[in-house]
Amino acid sequence: MPGALEGIRVVELAHIMAGPVAGLMLADMGADVVKVEKLPGGDDTRRMAPPLLGDQSAAYLMMNRNKRGIALDLKTERGQAILRKLLGTADVLIENYRMGTLDRLGFGYEAVSALNPRLVYCSLSGFGRTGPYAARGGFDLVAQGMSGLMGITGEGPGRAPVKVGAPVTDITAGILAAMGILGALQARARTGRGQRVDTSLFEAGIVQTFWQSAIALATGVSPGPLGSGHPLNAPYQAFATADGWINVGAANQKTWLKLVECLDAPQLAADPRFASNADRMVNLPALVDALAPLFAARTTAAWLDLFERAGMPAGPVLSIQEMLADPQTRAREMVVTTEHATLGRVETLGAPVKFSDTPAAVRRAAPTLGQHNDEIFAELGFGST
């Protein structure tokens, strides 16, 4: 069955992560994503190793499934001619080059828009294409720090700053870009014209701070790190059990009373320090001290069995390997197998959005460098050399 974006051609002139995330999101939904890699060398993710699968970077394989790939030297007339012809056939361009690079090569927004007025031109960068930081390069670590994320991540005040373990601004920027592209394609259906879509790692970090920014804007005080805790609800965090850790989400009065019942601790329900969510937040250290020994008395599995029967929101803290093997992960097809041109069967993550009528799917493995040159050059009317 065709995907939701069947018939949409995307040119991915992007490398490393944010741009490729946007490309793979669109590719999962059925778009024909043509990844254009630089010569020599290709996408820098190809050199992010170990680990390798055969001679291929595992990181590259993860970020570039479902795409066709060509390799071009854009400093040559032929490379520029091929890209220009490709963009004339495209619906979307995704790029994450440093500011001014594509303009110097003749592929800036104004030039490409004149070539193909229907094209949606998506730019991802560290800080956006406007503002005093527009010319700066951007990395996830830098964006996490400047967006405030590292100010709210970690075990508590006075400790060293900690980044979110995943490159959350890169991934979020890619998702925001895909969302913006879909909005621009919908607008094009009304107007017949494309437009520029512009987002950044910096903004991707900022949108992760909704709760903390709400607090800061209302009070004038910056919230700090709370470990696994929540800035507005308690108890809503991880607790040590007899053999591991468990996350408990008693995020409202109903679940708080349910938790107390499961813990067989009626004295906590009667304690005025914990009477309401506001009281529990004010007295959070005392609350954690009261709950910790109760959780430590049973194993994670025992608590999970009890909480599930009671309808209490809770879950284990899993390693990545445990998550990948989890039956819910497998039932949702979030680990799938692809057939790679040189490696054979390779596992990768699946499509995270499910459609009832136009299913998303992982149809192909990441391309080898220049794997589809002949195929795509022929489609454009160019020879293979």
Helices and strands in the chain, H and E counts: 18, 13
The three-class DSSP label of residue 20 is: helix
The answer to whether residue 170 is catalytic is: yes
The token duo for 280 is: 């529990």
Residue 11 to residue 89: CA distance in whole angstroms = 9
Q: Taking the CB of residue 91, how many other CB atoms lie within 10 A of it?
A: 22
Q: Which residues lie across from 199 on neighbouring strands? A: 124
Q: Which helix (H) or strand (E) holds 269?
A: helix 266-270
| Residue 49 buriedness (CB in 10 A; 0-12 / 13-18 / 19+) | middle
Which residues have CB under 8 Å from 41's CB, separation 6+? 47
Residue 17 to residue 175: CA distance in whole angstroms = 11
**76 residue type, one letter:** T
- C-alpha Rg value of the chain to the nearest Å: 25
DSSP β-ladder status, 9-13 and 314-316? unpaired
Closest by CA to 141, choosing from 200, 96, 227, 202, is 202
Options 32, 91, 140, 170, the catalytic residue: 170
**311 residue type, one letter:** G
CB 115, CB 87: distance < 8 Å: yes
Q: At what angle do helices 300-310 and 253-262 cross, to 10 degrees?
A: 130
Which residues have CB under 8 Å from 267's CB, separation 6+? none
Kindly write down the DSSP assignment for every residue of 45-66, as one continuous string: GGG--S-EETTEEHHHHHH-TT
- The residues that are catalytic are 170
